[in-house]
Chains A and B, each alone.
Chain A
Amino acid sequence: MKSAVSREASTPLDTTDSLTPTLRRKRKKGVAGYAFVSGYFVLLILFGVLPAAYAIVLAFTASGGHFTGLTNFIKTGEDFRFLPAFENVGKYLLIWLGSLVVIVLGLALMLHSIARRVSAAFRFIFYLPGALAGAASVLVWLFMLDPTVSPWRLFLGVFGFKNLGQTILPGHLPLIFAIIAFWAGAGGWIVVTYGALNNIPNELIEAAQLDGAGAIQTALRIKLPLIKKWIVFMLILAFAAGTQLFVEPQLVGEASLGLISPTWSPNELAYYFAFQDNNFNYAAAISVDLLVIGLLCAAVLVFRTKLFEVE
């Protein structure tokens, strides 16, 4: 249309049918990709791969730097604080994961069967304490568990607790940490589970109803099997994170007047080795133990479920 003439005029110049490169830029292959990931790659090496590698080196060497094989692992494993720490965390995980399956799923199913507007409000409220994760949540619960000031004081009184010391007895800690984890973390998982439930096509639910399934039958036989992989996902992530418990026992220990061991959880034990005993090799050995647990969880999630797209 407009430039037909001008193009005609310019063609005689380019008509030389030659292989000589003109001003046109050659396309570059692959280079751009490296440029885009380079920043992240450096961070990954410096703060992901290197520390892990360094911890592994330390875990297999003595303070002098010579290779000691599994000695550090055996020594830390035989330490009198090692087993109790893992036992403590194990009990905590049992309660926390159990409550995730039963209560989170139950609440999500209930929310899914009521009006969307109302359920949105509930979901927001349940999710809200997530803002107080970490130290803040522990502090809030120290107030909640202190029978002298707690709004639940009547409830605590039923169990005969008169002061904070009685509530946070060492034997109660797994349950208490599970409650804190639930308070701060369950809302997020309820939102995720609800989202998964929402992805179930409505026709499927209606078909089940026409087939004669009641609300509970539909929930158990249709909805739950369809969100199974999300439940697995939730459990593995919660398990992996739960093994790393640190801030909760640390802060509650602070308020317990020395009743609670400073090596209550494995991470605390590793910390104790590093900072009280100045034994970085032992600390590294426990870190590697925990790292392996984390890696195993990741491996199960990546290879056993099809949750993560890698293409």
Chain B
Amino acid sequence: MRLFNRIWSRTFSYIILLAFTAFFVVPVIWLLFAPFKTDHNLVFENPFALGTLGNLFHAAHVMFTFEDYALLNWLKNSAIYSFGGIAIALICSIPAGYGLAHTQFIGRRTLLGVTLFVMIMPATALVLPLFLEANAVHAVGTPLAVILPFSFFPFGVYLAYIFYSSSVPKDLLAAARIDGCNEWDVFRRIALPLARPIIALVTFFAFVANWNNFFLPFVMLPNSSNYPLPIGLQDLLSATPAFNPGQGGQVPIYRPELAIATIVAMAPVMIVFLFAQRSLVSGLLAGATKE
């Protein structure tokens, strides 16, 4: 009886898990298959039927050449904004996390508390205030209006702080001081090399957040040539006759083309997902100290 119950509950678990697997995966698969078909195929054929490479090339050609390679321009913009923001965020947050964890100065606890607060608060809450601020200094429409707010990444500071305070013992830094390091040497030669896993982690989170950010560039960058991908996607969406039949035929963007644009938008994050998973696991510190 007991055994029967166990088998039954296990089977039930797997059925539920597989159902959710379908829920999570089918949209991704459909998206990957869509560019191989024509818009007509998508409507009238089995949704999981295979398409042809010819359709893919056609749709890709249409999409990439659309409005003088707008998609590539958006991709480039996305990359500049994301990585610009990450670079400054790393330069500032790693030393800050170290400073908060391992140095003493007046206001340290306050800074830590404020960091915690702004970290938990959704970044979106500051978008309009940021716009108002940028507007006041006439920075709206410039890439810096997006890059600089991106570079303020309190979560990264918190991650670095937790890493340094929990995984880098004070004695390790004391040893370096005795070995002849000044404060900057201690950071550069000991603390910074140890931070490699945390740099990967901060990069990962900042990248996902920056790349997918919609609201901030949406308000900051009114000009199509400055759009990052998510705003570009919206632009396409509003232009395509697939969702706006009124647009009829003027724009050659149909569902397969839209799917390609979506894939281009998500691919970098997907790649970073796969890439980051490995580097996060590295136990660089294992065995450094016995605790």
Contact = CB atoms under 8 A, between A and B. Distances in A.
Interface of A: 25, 28-30, 32-37, 39-44, 46-52, 54-55, 58, 103, 106-107, 110-111, 113-114, 122, 125-136, 139-144, 148-153, 164, 183, 187, 214-216, 236-237, 240-241, 243-244, 246-247, 250-251, 254-255, 257, 267, 270-271, 274-275, 280, 283-284, 286-287, 290-291, 293-295, 297-299, 301-302, 308-311
Nearest to A140: B27
A81 to B, nearest CB: 16
Given A254-B238, A280-B132, 16 more contacts: A39-B95, A43-B92, A43-B151, A44-B152, A46-B152, A48-B114, A51-B132, A135-B230, A135-B233, A141-B27, A164-B243, A214-B5, A257-B244, A293-B125, A299-B117, A309-B165
A183 B109 contact: no
Given A183-B23, A215-B9, A255-B244, A136 B230 contact: yes
A74 B20 CA distance: 45
B162 interface: yes
A271 B124 CA distance: 12
B133 A51 contact: yes
Interface string B213-253: 11100110000000001110110011000011010000000
Q: How large is the interface on B (under 10, 10 to 19, 20 to 34, 35 or more residues)?
A: 35 or more
B120 A297 contact: yes
B109 A310 contact: yes
Contacts of B175: none
Interface in B110-131: 111-122, 124-131
Given A37-B99, A291-B121, A309-B165, A133 B208 contact: yes
A134 B128 contact: no
B265 A136 contact: yes
B93 A251 contact: no
B148 interface: yes
Contacts of A299: 117
B128 A37 contact: no
Contacts of B115: 44
Contacts of A133: 208, 212, 269
B98 A36 contact: yes
Contact of B273 (A36, A130, A143, A216): A130
A43 B189 CA distance: 25
Nearest to A275: B219
B86 interface: no
Contact of A136 (B25, B157, B212): B212
Interface stretch (B41-49, B50-58, B283-291): B41-49
B86 to A, nearest CB: 13
Contact of B215 (A47, A130, A267, A280): A267
B162 A309 contact: yes
B111 A284 contact: no
A286 B122 CA distance: 15
Contacts of B152: 43-44, 46-48
Contact of A246 (B30, B104, B214): B214
A294 B122 contact: yes
